[in-house]
Amino acid sequence: MADSEGHGRLSRLVGEPGLAGTVPVDRVVSAIASYGMWALTIGIIVFLWLPLSLIVVLSFMESSVLFPFEGVTLANYVSLFTNASLLGAARQSAIVATTSAAVATLIGVPLGFAIARRTFRGRSVLRGLVILPLLMPGIIMGISLLILFRVIGFSPGFFGTVLAHSVYGLPFIVLPVTARLAVFDRKLEEGARDLGADRSGVLKDVTLPIISPAIAAGFVFAWLRSFEDFIRVFFVGGTMDALTKEMYGMVVYSQGTEAMDPMATLIVVVVASALAVAINLRDILEYV
């Protein structure tokens, strides 16, 4: 009976055998590939989300390990919200991320328009230079900027970090903007001009609203890359308190580590909530 049921499931999966009593090979391969892709997808999801889920669980545990189980507590969150240095570092990192992402957006959007819609000498070189900060190792960029700051007499700190992160975030703005403009229907702008709109009106009422999800996507990822950066901040941050530097010091010196899991949990919740809101308002992930 079991063999009959197994044969029935296989028949439904790959189809009935052919006249010669053999199962088509392509259907077997297709079935194996389908199950393989499901297994791979589930494995990737588990690999990505299991560490995050573990951090969330540990943030409510009395011990820093799951086993042996010692109970559930909110004392870790009390330690977080009474840790003035960690909260101050998080606030400073948020300010740096917001400022650098805004600067990258103000520079990257016009630059994206120039690359996508203008033909000039050195255009391909400019496109390559824009992408370069994304490809350059963080330690190389951090060391080179530190050397540059020392040569010109610029002190590392808040403004140095904003400058470094603005350069680092520029590709995240330019790439989605140029990609969106590459498939932009220019007839929409021509129609607006035929109806009497001037150049600024077309830009404000037609072009920017259509490409705004691409701009939002670039801003979000530039903000995230700045907020979570450690290597560049380590070299150009000077004495500025940053969340990544503060958490690194907590691990090295084993001080205040009970507040780390709650802080990581709050970051996960805030980032996930921001992405959910952004996706519901405008599907920004379409342009990533």
Last residue of a domain, one of 11, 30, 58: 58
What is the per-residue pLDDT across 99-132, written as a single tens digit (0 to 9) for each?
999 999 999 999 999 998 888 888 888 888 888 8
- Count Cβ atoms within 10 A of the Cβ of residue 227 and give its class: 0-12 exposed, 13-18 middle, 19 or more buried: buried
Domain boundary residue, one of 58, 87, 106:
58
User: Is the confidence at residue 276, as pLDDT, over 80?
Assistant: no
Query: Is residue 65 domain-resident?
Result: no
Task: Report the predicted TM-score, pTM, of the whole model to 2 decimal places.
Answer: 0.79
Q: What CA–CA distance (Å, rounded) separates 272 from 112? A: 28
Rg (CA), the chain: 26
Q: If you ran DSSP here, which 8-state letter would residue 137 be given? A: -
**Residue 176 and residue 105: Cα distance in Å, rounded?**
11
In this predicted structure, what is the pLDDT of residue 19? Answer: 45
Percent of the chain exceeding pLDDT 90 equals 26
DSSP state at residue 204: I
- Considering only residues 236 and 118, tell me which one the structure prediction assigns the higher pLDDT: 236
Q: Is 240 helix (H, G, I), strand (E, B) or coil?
A: coil
Task: Please state the domain count of the chain.
Answer: 2
Q: Which of 31, 58, 85 is a domain's end point?
A: 58
- Dihedral sign computed on CA atoms, order 174, 176, 179, 180: negative
Domain of residue 169, CATH code: 1.10.3720.10
Burial class (CB in 10 A: 0-12, 13-18, 19+), 115: buried
| Cα–Cα distance, 111 to 176 (Å, whole number) | 12
CA distance 75 to 23: 61
Determine, yes or no, domain membership for 68: no
Q: Which domain holds residue 134?
A: 76-287
Are 242 and 92 spatial neighbours (Cβ–Cβ below 8 Å)? yes
Residue-wise pLDDT for 154-210, tens only, equals: 888 899 999 999 999 999 999 999 988 888 888 888 888 888 888 888 888 888 888
Residues 219 and 192 in one domain: yes
Predicted local distance difference test score (pLDDT) of residue 220: 87
Q: Are residues 34 and 148 in the same domain?
A: no
Q: Could you tell me which of 284, 240, 261 has the C-alpha nearest to residue 85?
A: 240
Residues 222 and 114 in one domain: yes
- Considering the domain architecture, whether residues 219 and 261 belong to the same structural domain is answered as yes
**Separation between Cα atoms, residue 198 and residue 203, nearest integer Å:** 9
The confidence band for 45, taking pLDDT boundaries of 50, 70 and 90, is confident
Residue 154 per-residue DSSP state: P
Same domain, 94 and 43: no
The CA distance from 26 to 104, in Å, is: 50
Residues 100 and 163 in one domain: yes
Beta partners for residue 61, in sequence order: 72
